[in-house]
Amino acid sequence: MAEQAIPRMGGHCDARFEGVRAAFVDNFRERGELGAAVTVLLDGEPVVDLWGGWADAAHTRPWQQDTLVNVWSTTKGATALCAHLLVDRGLLDLDAPVASYWPEFAAAGKQNVLVRHLLSHRAGLAGLREPHTLDELYDWELTTARLAATEPWWEPGTRSGYHAITYGFLVGEVIRRITGQLPSAFLRQEVSGPLGMDFFIRFPEDETRQPAELVHPLAAAGSEQEAAFSQLEPVALAALANPLTGAAEANTPEWRAAEIPAAGGHASAQGVAALYGLFTGHERPDGRRVLSARAAERAREGQGSCRDLILGAGFAHDTEIGLGLWLSGANGSYGPNPRAFGHDGFGGSFGLADPEAGISVGYVMNHMGTHIADDPRKMALVDAVYKAGTASA
C-alpha cells in the first residue's frame, strides 16, 4: 500500500508508550487508516489516549477524542459483561439450562443447552436455518422466537462455532428474561451511565454526537463474491450471511436504532478501554469495582480449544473462547500473556483485558479491514503496548 500523508492528530501518550504513538501513526502512513483512536489504561489510568484522521470518507469531519463508531463484535464484550454482572448477583447460573430462564428455548432438542454454551459459542445456533432479512433482524421478538424454535447445527457443548449475530440475541434474551430489560438498557443503567462510559449497545436516541461513517474496502466483483460464498458450508453461510451485513447497512439509522447486542454497539476508544478494563477485576481509580475479581477469572475460563466451525478456515491454528471473550492463547492475539483476553470487531476494532498487567486497551476505526481477526493495525498496537515492558510475557 502506498504511503499516505499523516492527518491531524490529538491526544497524549506517556513517554514509555511512545512506541504506541509510532504504531498509531504508522497505521495511517502504511496501513490505510482513515479515522481512528486508541486508548490504553494501566491500573485504570490513561497512559495512551490518541485520535486522528477523519470520521467520514469525504474528509469533512475530523475524528475527535469522543467520536463514536459502530464497533461490530467488540460489542460482544459488553453483552458478556451484563451476563457476568448477573452471575455476580446470584441471578444467573452458568451451568443451568437456558430453558430454565427462557422456557420456549427447550424446543427442537435444546432442553440441555447450558448458559455457558451460549457465552462460549457452543450452543450450535450460529445462524438461523430459514432466510432472515435485515428488517426481521431488527425485530427482537421475531428473531428470538425463531432461535428458540430452531434445532442446533451440531451437538451443543462439543465445540465452538462463531455465533456472529445470534450470540447477542441468545445471551440478550436470557438477560431480558431475568431483568425485564434488553441488554442496551441494562448496560446503560448499571454500567455505562453511572460510570460515564462511551459504550452503547444501541445508539442512544438522546445522543447528539454524529457517529463516524464506516467505510468498507471495495467489495470483490459479484462473481468472485459468489464464488467465495459458494465454498462456505451451510452453517457458515447461516452465521455470516443470513442476513448479510456490512458498512452500508451499519451506517443507516435503522441499524443504529436496533437492538443487536452482538454487533450493533457504538463506542469511543476510551469507552472500549474502560469497559474491557472492568474485566481485569481491579478497582477503578474512583474506588468502584463493577465486576468481582472472581468474575474476571470466570470470564476467561477456557471452554475447549478447537478449530472453530465458522471461522476455522481463517486461522492457521486452533482458538479458544472463554465465557464471552477470546483468549490470547499461544498465538498472542491479545499480547504475550496467554491468559489475556478480549474481542475483535468486524473490520478491525478491539478491546483487550490483561488482569496480570493491569492493562486494558480500546481501539476503534472506520476504515474496515479484510481480516477475520488480528487486523494488522490491531497487532501493531498490541505489540507496541507490550514492548513498553508493562506486561508479563
Whether residue 29 contacts residue 17, with contact meaning beta carbons closer than 8 Å, is answered with no
Consecutive H or E run containing 342: strand 341-344
Paired strand residues for 321: 326
CB atoms within 10 A of CB 305: 16
Q: Are strands 9-13 and 199-200 parallel, antiparallel or unpaired?
A: unpaired
Q: Phi first, then psi: what are they for 259, rounded to 5°? A: -90, 100
Give CA separation, 188 vs 194, 197, 200, in Å. 8, 9, 7
SS3 356: coil
Grid cell listed for 194 = 453511572
Give CA separation, 104 vs 4, 98, 108, 110, 140, in Å. 54, 10, 10, 10, 15
Alpha-carbon distance of 333 to 122, in angstroms, equals 21
What distance, in Å, lies between the first and last C-alpha atoms of the chain? 32
Q: Is 192 a catalytic residue?
A: no
Q: Which residues are catalytic?
A: 73
